[in-house]
Amino acid sequence: VRAALQDLAADVAADAGVDVTDILDVCIVGNPIMHHLLLGINPVELGGAPFALTTDEATRMRAADIGLRLHPGARV
């Protein structure tokens, strides 16, 4: 998931004619499985019903915290 996001950021930056290090803010939305994988949370609990999310709140962090190589202070 993280590698795909990095590739997407590179494609978007290239289309815009800027470097990925110019990206300052990112908003990522996904289903619970993608959310857990992105954050490094084991999604095994989502495999059975009823499942409880680890968090259902918005999560804010620096891009570097999840391995995205963007602007050093980029926010996610």
Question: Has residue 41 been placed in a domain?
Answer: yes
Quote the pLDDT of residue 62: 96
Look-up: residue for tokens 């009823």?
50
More confident residue, 52 or 24: 24
**CA–CA gap between residue 34 and residue 72 (Å, rounded):** 24
**Higher pLDDT, residue 10 or 31:** 10
Single pTM value for the model: 0.80
Whether 27 is covered by a domain: the verdict is yes
Residue 74 pLDDT > 80:
yes
3-state DSSP assignment of residue 54: coil
Q: What is the spatial distance between Cα 72 and Cα 23, in angstroms, rounded to a whole number?
A: 9
Give me the number of domains the chain comprises: 1
Q: In the structure encoding, which two tokens stand for residue 6, read together?
A: 């990095």
Q: Is residue 26 part of a domain?
A: yes
Evaluate whether residue 71 is within a structural domain. no
- What range does the domain containing 55 cover? 2-66
Torsion over CA of 72, 20, 29 and 60, rounded to 10 degrees?
Answer: 10
Nearest to 9 by CA among 62, 59, 73, 71: 71
